[in-house]
C-alpha cells in the first residue's frame, strides 16, 4: 500500500517523538511491503516563528490532500505572551475545524508492565486472585463544538469588565459523536458512559436527550449517565467500571488527561481525531514539554502508538498496528524505561534508543 502522510512535527519534543514514529513506520513498510510518503509541514510555534502564522494555508491544503496526518505537539513557553487568538494552540483548533475532525479517541490502557507507575493502589486497578491489571478505557471527546468554539467576547457589567464563552451544541453534533461511542462499545465490552452536567446546563440536557435517543439503536449496549464531577471522582475511585466514555469538548479535555495519568504516564498514550470516513489526525496526548526538548529524554511511545492507531483506523492495517503494539510491550517487558516511567531496577533509555529498540522488535 502507498500512503501519503502529512507530518507536523510541531514544537518542543514534537519533532523528536515524531521522528521515532516515522522510524517505526519505515520499519513496518519494509516488513509488510508498504510505502510511506512524508510531507513535513509547519504548525504551532514553529510556524509562528517562520511565517508569523500558527496555521499556514499550505499546511491545511497538504493535510487535506493527504491520507492521514501525524502530529507531534504544539505550544511552549516561548509563545505564552501572545494574544489568545495568536497562540500556537490555535493551530490545533484550526486543524480540527478545517479537516472536519469531530471525534477524538483517547485510549487509556495500563500495560501490566507499568502497573507500579500507576498512582492508584494495585487492588484498584487489578481484579481476580492473580492480581492481573485490568484497566482499558477509551475516552471519546467531541472536538468541534461546545465552549471552545462558541461565541466569545467581553462586556461591561456593574462589577466591571467581564468575559464570556458560550457552550453551544446542535443535535447533530451530539448524535454523530454518540454514534462513534456506541460503535466503539460494540467492538469492546458494550458499555457507554455519557458524561455531562445536565443538572445545571441546558446544553447538557440536550446532550443527554440525544445520547439516549441514539442508544435505542444499540440495544446490546448498556448506557449510563454521570455528571462530570462524579465521573472525575469515579475515574480514580474505580476506573475498571468504565469501558467507553463519551463527553463534550471541555469535559473530554479534562477527563482524558485524568485517565492518562491513571495509566502511569501521559507519555504512553496515543490519540486519534477522526471525521466521517477513514481520514484522521494522530498525535500523542502529551504536550510539547519544552523543559526537556532536545535532550533525548522524551518518551516516544505515545507517538509510536499513535502511528499504530493510524494504521488501524484509517488504513485498516490491523496486523501492522498489532505488530507495533507488541513491539512496545516487548520493550517494556525487557525493563527498558524512558525517564517518565523509570523506576529502580529498570534500564534507563533515551528517545532515540527507545525508537531503535521498538523497531528492532518488529519482524
Which residues are marked as active site? 148, 197, 229, 253, 257
Q: Closest Cα partner for 246 from 281, 210, 287? A: 210
- In whole angstroms, what is the distance from residue 62 CA to residue 65 CA? 5
DSSP three-state, residue 167: coil
Dig out the grid coordinates for 336 from the structure.
527498558
- In whole angstroms, what is the distance from residue 342 CA to residue 356 CA? 18
- In whole angstroms, what is the distance from residue 134 CA to residue 137 CA? 10
Cβ count near 40 (within 10 Å): 14
Are 122 and 131 a contacting pair, CB within 8 Å?
Answer: yes
Facing residues of 164 across strands?
153
- In whole angstroms, what is the distance from residue 360 CA to residue 355 CA? 9
- Judged on CB neighbours under 10 Å (0-12, 13-18, 19+), 100 is middle
User: What DSSP designation does 13 have?
Assistant: T
Q: Closest Cα partner for 305 from 111, 39, 46, 144? A: 111
Angle between helix axes 351-360 and 14-32 (nearest 10 degrees) is: 10
Amino acid at each position: 500500500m502507498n500512503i501519503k502522510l502529512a507530518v507536523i512535527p510541531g514544537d518542543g519534543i514534537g519533532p523528536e517523538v515524531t521522528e521515532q514514529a516515522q522510524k517505526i513506520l519505515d520499519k513496518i513498510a519494509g516488513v509488510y511491503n508498504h510505502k510511506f510518503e512524508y510531507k513535513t509541514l509547519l504548525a504551532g510555534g514553529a510556524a509562528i516563528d517562520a511565517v508569523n502564522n500558527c496555521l499556514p494555508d499550505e499546511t491545511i491544503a497538504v493535510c487535506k490532500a493527504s491520507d492521514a496526518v501525524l502530529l507531534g505537539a504544539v505550544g511552549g513557553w516561548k509563545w505564552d505572551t501572545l494574544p489568545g487568538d495568536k497562540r500556537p494552540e490555535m493551530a490545533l483548533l484550526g486543524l480540527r475545524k478545517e479537516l472536519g475532525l469531530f471525534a477524538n479517541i483517547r485510549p487509556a490502557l495500563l500495560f501490566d508492565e507499568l502497573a507500579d507507575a500507576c498512582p492508584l493502589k494495585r487492588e484498584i486497578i487489578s481484579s481476580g486472585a492473580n492480581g492481573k491489571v485490568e484497566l482499558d478505557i477509551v475516552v471519546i471527546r467531541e472536538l468541534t463544538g461546545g465552549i471552545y468554539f462558541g461565541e466569545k467576547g467581553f462586556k461591561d457589567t456593574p462589577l466591571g469588565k467581564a468575559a464570556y464563552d458560550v457552550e453551544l451544541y446542535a443535535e447533530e453534533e451530539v448524535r454523530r459523536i454518540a454514534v462513534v461511542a456506541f460503535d466503539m462499545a460494540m467492538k469492546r465490552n458494550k458499555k457507554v458512559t455519557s458524561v455531562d452536567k445536565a443538572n445545571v446546563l441546558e446544553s447538557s440536557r440536550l446532550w443527554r436527550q440525544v445520547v439516549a435517543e441514539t442508544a435505542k439503536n444499540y440495544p446490546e449496549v448498556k448506557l449510563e449517565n454521570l455528571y462530570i464531577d462524579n465521573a472525575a471522582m469515579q475515574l480514580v475511585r474505580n476506573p475498571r467500571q468504565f469501558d467507553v466514555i463519551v463527553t463534550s469538548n471541555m469535559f473530554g479535555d479534562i477527563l482524558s488527561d485524568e485517565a492518562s495519568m491513571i495509566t502511569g504516564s501521559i507519555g504512553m498514550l496515543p490519540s486519534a481525531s477522526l471525521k466521517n470516513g477513514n481520514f484522521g489526525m494522530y498525535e500523542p496526548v502529551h504536550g510539547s514539554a519544552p523543559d526537556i526538548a532536545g535532550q533525548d529524554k522524551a518518551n516516544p511511545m505515545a507517538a509510536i502508538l499513535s502511528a499504530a492507531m493510524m494504521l488501524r483506523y484509517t488504513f485498516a492495517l490491523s496486523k501492522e498496528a498489532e505488530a507495533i503494539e507488541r513491539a512496545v510491550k516487548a520493550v517494556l517487558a525487557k525493563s527498558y524505561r524512558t525517564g517518565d516511567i523509570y523506576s529502580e531496577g529498570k534500564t534507563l533509555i533515551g528517545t532515540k534508543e527507545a525508537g531503535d529498540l521498538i523497531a528492532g522488535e518488529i519482524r
